[in-house]
Amino acid sequence: MGAGKSGKRKKTAAKKATARKAAATAPAGKLRPVIIDIADPLWNNEARMVAAVTRRPMVVHDGAEEPTAELLRDLDRKDGFTCQNSAIVLSDRDSELTRHRLVRAIRVDQLEPSLDAGGAMVLAEMIGANDVVRIAVSSAVGGAGSSLFAAQLAYYMSCEGRPAVLVDADPHSCGLDLVLGKERRPGLTRNQIPADCDFEQLRSHLLMLGFDSAGGKKIGADGGAVPVIYADRYPTFGAHSGGRGLDVGQLAHLMHADDMVVDCGRSLPVADSASAGWAEQWGEAEPDVHILVAPLTIQGVTAASALRNRMLENDRAKPLIVLRETPGASTSVAVAALMLDEAPVTVIRHDAQCASALDRGEAEYWIESSLKHDRAREPVREVWEKIQGIIGNCALPLAS
């Protein structure tokens, strides 16, 4: 009897895990459409066939001024959405459309091999049948915990069937290597990746270093290890890419099929010297969703509110605000909501075990154990569900 019940429980658990994974990988809404703006007739025909295979909505654009202006107006109407990348543009030339900040542009004239010589498979993989997500996590003030939350989110996504690459883009903060207790262990950093390498070369480079996924050293997860690419925190002699390393946009281009969670430290896409590192971190890319972490204190909430407003003034998408409970502070969530003029997406409750785990360099084990409990898992789940809703509803509504 006992063995029978145990077998049933295992089958039930397996079914639940399968259902959870299917729900995580299923699109939450419309897929981002493909806009084909290719002058070469042979490449244009090949691109149409590739786009059709991905089952995405497709618009064939002839490059005329009036339709271009209409498309740009449609894209501009997406301003204010938290999600940045509303459409995929396939083109064989530089144009106002490919430079628009709300699209992901793929230059088919730069494919290797070329589109008419076997590059169709490469293009299909780059477009993808599912929309990947690039998530930026920033701190409103020092010590807010963007690195820790980024690691928690990547771990949670992996357990939910959406394994993500965890990237440390800020060499000036404490960083993921310190948070995860790996600062003295060998790991892949951004300046060790050749600047001119392609996707297959990156995979080969990682396999040569002993990594079995698109990333550096990994933190464990039930659904598979989470790959981590560290920042160029320390001088690396003989760095392949000139010492600075690839920016997030270049990494995202190489790892086009992988979700990414990027720890940005205190860098934000605002026009001032304090956030000058944003362009260096992201290059020409934009995150799909930006998370702003702040302590639940008067100072922390004030900083989050000011930074959110400055992002909007700089024509950037509105960030998701996550507040972290601070021991001894008396600021309530209701007061924070009044100050922000909106409720935070979630509040992370204080966990006394977290600080000691960080001091011992065992945060990865704390992440693994804590997310098995509702108190720690709930805030991360709420943020991930919010992200899924945004991604599912941000696709540009174009007729196919």
Decide: 346 and 384 in contact? Cβ < 8 Å: no
Report the C-alpha gap between 324 and 295 in whole angstroms: 5
Phi, psi for 91 (deg, rounded to 5): -145, 160
Report the C-alpha gap between 360 and 108 in whole angstroms: 49
The 8-class DSSP code of residue 275 comes to G
Q: Dump the DSSP string for 178-204.
A: HHTT-TTS---BGGGS-TT--HHHHHH
Those residues whose C-beta lies under 8 Å from the C-beta of residue 68, and which sit 6 or more positions away, are 61, 95, 96, 97
Q: Is 35 helix (H, G, I), strand (E, B) or coil?
A: strand
pLDDT, one tens digit for every residue, the chain (400 residues): 444 544 544 444 444 444 444 444 444 457 888 999 999 999 999 999 999 998 888 888 876 666 677 777 776 665 544 455 678 899 999 988 888 877 888 999 988 888 888 889 889 888 887 788 899 999 999 889 999 999 999 999 988 888 788 888 887 777 788 787 776 555 567 766 666 666 566 656 555 554 444 444 556 655 456 778 877 654 443 344 444 567 888 888 777 777 899 999 988 888 765 566 788 888 878 888 999 999 999 999 999 999 999 999 887 888 999 999 999 899 999 999 999 999 999 999 999 888 888 888 888 888 888 888 888 899 999 999 999 888 777 666 654 3
| pTM of the predicted model as reported, rounded to 2 decimal places | 0.77
Distances (CA, A) of 32 to 27, 48, 313: 10, 15, 26
Q: Which superfamily does CATH assign the domain made up of 134-393 to?
A: P-loop containing nucleotide triphosphate hydrolases (3.40.50.300)
In terms of DSSP bridges, do strands 226-229 and 34-37 run parallel, antiparallel, or are they unpaired?
unpaired
| 400 membership: H or E segment, kind and range | none
Residues of the chain with CATH 3.40.50.300: 134-393
